[in-house]
Amino acid sequence: MSDDIVITAWGFADARGFCGTRGARGVFGQDAAQWPEAFPEAFPRFGRLDPPCKLAMVAAELLGLKPPRDGVHADIGVSLGTRYGCLDADASFFATLWRPEGASPALFTYTLPSSSIAEVAIRYKLGGPNACFLAGEESGLTALWEGVRLVESGEARACVCLACDGVTPGTAAKTPGFDAPDAWEASAFLVEVSEYARARDRAPLAAVSIQCASDTETAADGDALSVLRACVQGGRDAALACPAALRRDEVLVVTAQR
Amino acid sequence: MNSPPCVITAASAVTSLGADVEAAWSGMMRNIRGIRPMQRLPRGRYRSDVAGEIPAELEAALEAPPGARVRRLALHAARQALRQAPGSRDRTGLVLATTKADIDGLGAALRGEIAQWPAHYDPAALAIDLAQALGLEGPVLAVSNACASGLVAVAQAARLLRRNDAERMLVVGVDVLHEFVLGGFSSLAALSPDPCRPFDANRTGLSLGEGAGAIALCREGSLAGTGLGVVRGWAVTNDAHHLTGPSPTGEGLQRALRGALAMAGMAPEAIDYINAHGTGTAYNDAMEMKAVAAVFGENAPPMTSMKGYFGHTLGACGVIELALCLKAMEQRTIPASMGLDSLDPGSALRIPAEHMPVPRLDAIISMKSGFGGVNAAVALTGMEAA
């Protein structure tokens, strides 16, 4: 069982509030001023983050990770999935591009889809492998899938699997053809080798493994990450179908710890 | 951890120096700078008026139908690579690396010049479109990890091959010049007014470029035909230090270099050449020199940057420069670090300012770092070493 891969923590944030392993609950809507409720201690940097980074940070905070006293957690990676990436920062930066005083450097620093990885890595000192996947509606599932694979292969002992999209109504309104009004949520799961988790006193919520689809009977419906959240929260089993882009006849089997 | 090696069966690149690897290499060997006064983009507006722009005549001759520039460049590079690489397309997948994809399209949409969602602004949509245009039926992914995107994509493709998710993977890296990136790097005071001078004591920043690169990879055992080189190891790390600035100690890059060497089962002394990121900014180059000195010690192999030839091509640079590393291996010549006049006095490394023919060039490590603290390193060898 020492090579088992488990989920030990989760966090979720959307326009209604946030909740996760640490049991925190808040109501913040899109008013950033209320968001630091998620943080047990002062985090002044939070106010400077762009919307996706704020969402990702709230979800990640609920995983309960602590930075090491010195150095970094070199064996903890981050796998991020995002559909709209930094659309909000891109649109905001475009608006400053031709102004007389010059473009905004503060906005430019957030014009990469991978910015959330950086912010989460900096706060919790996660120095392991990281990747930002853009895979349409299945971006979050892809990040989870690849995060599990990363741990399975031994490239990382643990991985923060993040799914995050934060597009403000203003950006949505001025971007022609943008039709995802609900692009405002983040999910985080801490996936790790069970032995690694045990050594850090993190209890497993569910075991995960990738299996051939024909070996399983369960198939998940609807939004994969919602199903996963329900599993680890509610102690039930499930199987998530492989992201279509990977074209594998496989499922991620989730076995809840009861 | 060890990983089965992957063979590179094809490599292509389109840069401001030309439409293929041969043209880029030929230009480099003749010390031609592809960083010139900008023609397509406005001059006098930003901190620099020079960049590695794809010349109009070259752009007109690209092997790609009209459409978004980013798609045209990517398709051109991908088609070149697939022509060289044997293998069936139904088991071939694609990993796309880009930082801004069709940023032109988003700009046009926000200015009201187009009324529909700019499809290729989404890297996933661009990747799927490229795969369809090329007839590839394997897995399709898009990754975006700042300026390390290209090498992160190579690592991701190698992972997919390791898992037997595909028989062959095509890695395409692409980014185009746009006022968006010019204005952004200008606002950060990171652009050099003159063509960049990586590792020089008097370096003043980076020069932007644009282009696309593609490499085809297959598992070592499934090689049909001749290989160009072998990906033996890789590692991706994060500094966890700062959103835009590299770690001053280079600790994250050290871990990437050591990780790639460990996966390859190679000692540092086995490496013959280091393909640096070498952007020409004060902080990046200093960080790289520290990291290389720490990992390779006093006898570090020669290290150069290719940015002085065609600029910093952002998400494409990892793939483009890997393609040119294979050419360097074939020609047994370490390309000079263009723009280097007087070496940074803080460095005891060998950074040649002249091209350096060598008797042996069998093992190369390429490294790239980017915003967000990401570092990636890929160790490759020639086929003889396989």
Contact across the interface for B373 and A133, Cβ inside 8 Å: no
List the beta bridge partners of residue B235: B377
The confidence score (pLDDT) of residue B350 equals: 96
- Checking if the pLDDT of B277 tops 80, the result is yes
Asked if B5 and B230 touch (Cβ cutoff 8 Å), the reply is yes
Q: Tally helices (H) and strands (E) across chain B.
A: 11, 14
Residues of B with Cβ-Cβ distance to A245 under 8 angstroms: 124, 128, 139-141
Q: How many CB pairs under 8 A join A and B?
A: 182
Q: Is B250 an interface residue toward A (CB < 8 Å)?
A: no
| More confident call, B182 vs A170 | B182
Rounded distance between C-alpha atoms, residue B20 and residue B17, angstroms: 9
Contact across the interface for B110 and A108, Cβ inside 8 Å: no
In the DSSP assignment, the letter for residue B39 is S
Beta carbons within 8 Å of B99's beta carbon, 6+ residues apart: A112, B144, B146, B147, B149, B175, B314, B315
Asked if B355 and B53 touch (Cβ cutoff 8 Å), the reply is no
- Checking if the pLDDT of B386 tops 60, the result is no
Q: What is the DSSP secondary-structure string of A59-79?
A: HHHTTT----SSS-BTTEEEE
Instruction: Give 10-residue mean pLDDT values along chain A (258 residues).
Output: 82 86 62 61 82 92 93 98 96 93 94 97 97 96 97 97 93 87 89 96 94 76 80 87 91 88
Asked if B59 and B66 touch (Cβ cutoff 8 Å), the reply is no
- A114 closest CB neighbour out of B118, B146, B183: B146
Interface of B with A in 356-385 (CB under 8 A): 371-374
Alpha-carbon gap: A208 to the closest alpha carbon of chain B (Å): 17
Rounded distance between C-alpha atoms, residue B310 and residue B385, angstroms: 30
The confidence score (pLDDT) of residue A67 equals: 95
Contact across the interface for B238 and A130, Cβ inside 8 Å: yes
Run of H or E including B169? strand B168-175
Q: Is B191 an interface residue toward A (CB < 8 Å)?
A: no
Residues of B with Cβ-Cβ distance to A168 under 8 angstroms: none
Asked if A33 and A213 touch (Cβ cutoff 8 Å), the reply is no
Rounded distance between C-alpha atoms, residue B292 and residue B344, angstroms: 14
Packing angle, helices A115-124 and A51-61, rounded to 10: 40
Residues of chain B with pLDDT > 90: what percent? 91
Least confident residue range of A91-95, B36-40, B84-88, B382-386: B382-386
Whole-angstrom Cα Rg for chain A: 18
- A110, A132, A142: which to substitute to probe chain B, counting the most B Cβ within 10 Å? A132
Q: Which residues of B are tagged catalytic?
A: 147, 277, 312
The confidence score (pLDDT) of residue B291 equals: 97
In the DSSP assignment, the letter for residue B233 is E
Rounded distance between C-alpha atoms, residue A216 and residue B328, angstroms: 49
Q: What is the model's pTM? A: 0.97
Q: Is A48 an interface residue toward B (CB < 8 Å)?
A: no
Alpha-carbon gap: A1 to the closest alpha carbon of chain B (Å): 20
Q: Per the structure block, which two tokens stand in for B248?
A: 């001053």
Contact across the interface for B184 and A105, Cβ inside 8 Å: yes
Q: Is B262 an interface residue toward A (CB < 8 Å)?
A: no
Alpha-carbon gap: B237 to the closest alpha carbon of chain A (Å): 5
The confidence score (pLDDT) of residue A4 equals: 94
Rounded distance between C-alpha atoms, residue B103 and residue B114, angstroms: 13
The confidence score (pLDDT) of residue B272 equals: 98
Which has the closest alpha carbon to B52: B380, B267, B276, B316? B316
List the beta bridge partners of residue A56: none
Rounded distance between C-alpha atoms, residue A147 and residue A159, angstroms: 6
Phi, psi torsion values for A95, nearest 5 degrees: -65, -20
Asked if B149 and B370 touch (Cβ cutoff 8 Å), the reply is yes
A249 CB-contact burial (10 Å; exposed 0-12 / middle 13-18 / buried 19+): exposed
The confidence score (pLDDT) of residue A2 equals: 45
Interface of A with B in 123-182 (CB under 8 A): 124-136, 139, 142, 146, 149, 153-155, 174-179
Asked if B62 and B76 touch (Cβ cutoff 8 Å), the reply is yes
B190-248 tens-digit pLDDT: 999 999 999 999 999 999 999 999 999 998 777 666 799 999 999 999 999 999 989 99
Asked if B268 and B297 touch (Cβ cutoff 8 Å), the reply is yes
B335-368 tens-digit pLDDT: 999 999 999 888 889 999 999 999 999 999 999 9
Residue of B nearest to A133 (CA): B143
A130: left (phi over 0), alpha (psi -120 to 50) or beta: beta
Give me the amino acid identity at A243. Answer: P
Residues of B with Cβ-Cβ distance to A85 under 8 angstroms: 123, 144
